[in-house]
Amino acid sequence: MNKAVIADIGGTNARFAVVDAAGVINKETVVDSSGFFIDPIKAVRGYLRDVGEESVKVGVLAVAGPVVEGRLENKDMNFSCSIRELGDSLAMDRFDIINDFLAQALSVPYLKDDDYIKISERGKKRDNSPMAVIGPGTGLGAGILVPLQDGSYQAIATEGGHVSAPFAVDDRVRPIIENVYEIMTEKGENYISAEDLISGRGLPNVYAAVKKSRKEDFNIIPKNSEITRLMVAGDAAAVETFNVFFYLLGVVAGNYAISCGAVGGVYLAGGMLLVPDIYHAFLKSEFREAFEDKGAASVFASSIPTFLITHKHPAFLGLSLLAKNKLKDM
């Protein structure tokens, strides 16, 4: 039976698997993604060798970064490659690379009821309507699903995480965002994006800004795992950091939702919100209040439901569908 290799390559982890013509996913492996960005050929071949699938001739990879004119670009990882050249180097008969949140978006129509939870009772999902997917991992990814006349959906990759950092109407949060601007501009950063606040790499920026606002030392910032531990332990700066983080996620997700008319629902993805301690804090946060606070569009925003995807690897659902179609054509 023909098989395909699929992979979800983020800024931190690279998840590989093999899918057969029936769409069954096997031989899942998680490794540090830095190896892929250094040498993608070695990374893919190494995985196939390790799982005894070196004869595989079909591949579909989801990689963080925009795909433009046949090339994948990820400036954060200083990585660029031609999709066609990489496929040829791997001796693949059929090969493609898509944006990582395109794979997340593709999964949404196929999620089962126990693959996600609703955040807040507010908002009602409307069938055959646009949906949005957004969420923090190492970066801040975003995608859209547009309904088609035959009842299926067209998934669209976006770079919504790189929109300008939000302006906060909350008097508690605004000075912290201003501190982030000051800290980052001092480092030579002239453009501050939403991702610089709401992502794995953005969390330390928020923590430093909170520490500055509290007139505490912000020159040495711990790892995200330590900031999370401090939050659980009740450290005031860490607790405030996550409160701001969740609030800003609500602001940006709400902006994204009303911009693309996602009345079918907004689905939050990305590995960060599924870290158990972060997950529990998020469910008690002001995310939904910030999501709905849209002035004249608040009623519209409040009508849009929000969900948190809890499926272990939703990107694999999307990738397996693409791989299954490629295998069908062989």
Model confidence at 328: pLDDT above 90? no
**C-alpha dihedral, 160 to 177 to 244 to 308, nearest 10°:** 0
| Average pLDDT estimate for 145-174 | 91
**What is the predicted pLDDT for the residue at 146?**
97
pLDDT tens-digit readout, 68-116: 889 998 887 889 999 999 999 999 999 999 999 999 999 999 999 999 9
Q: Which residues pair with 130 in a beta bridge?
A: none
**What is the predicted pLDDT for the residue at 74?**
86
| Domain locations along the chain | 3-105+313-328, 112-310
Percent of the chain with pLDDT over 90: 87
Superfamily of domain 3-105+313-328: ATPase, nucleotide binding domain (3.30.420.40)
**What is the predicted pLDDT for the residue at 43?**
96
Which residue blocks in 4-159 are alpha helix, DSSP H? 34-38, 40-50, 83-89, 100-107
pLDDT tens-digit readout, 179-215: 999 999 998 998 999 999 999 999 999 999 999 999 9
| Average pLDDT estimate for 205-230 | 96
Q: Which residue has the tokens 């999620």?
A: 111
| Fold (CATH) for 112-310 | Hexokinase; domain 1 (3.40.367)
Q: By C-alpha distance, which of 40, 52, 50 is closest to 14?
A: 40
pLDDT tens-digit readout, 114-147: 999 999 999 999 999 999 999 999 999 999 999 9
- pTM for the predicted model, two decimal places: 0.94
**What angle do the packed helices 224-233 and 203-213 form, to 10 degrees?**
50
Q: E strands, 2-139, where?
A: 3-9, 13-20, 25-32, 58-63, 67-68, 71-74, 79-82, 94-99, 116-119, 131-136
Q: What is the DSSP letter of 57?
A: -
User: Do 314 and 115 meet the contact criterion of CB atoms below 8 Å apart?
Assistant: yes
Model confidence at 21: pLDDT above 80? yes
Which residue blocks in 76-196 are alpha helix, DSSP H? 83-89, 100-107, 174-186
Q: Which two tokens stand for residue 118?
A: 């609703």
Model confidence at 330: pLDDT above 80? no
For residue 175, the SS3 value is helix
| Average pLDDT estimate for 31-51 | 95
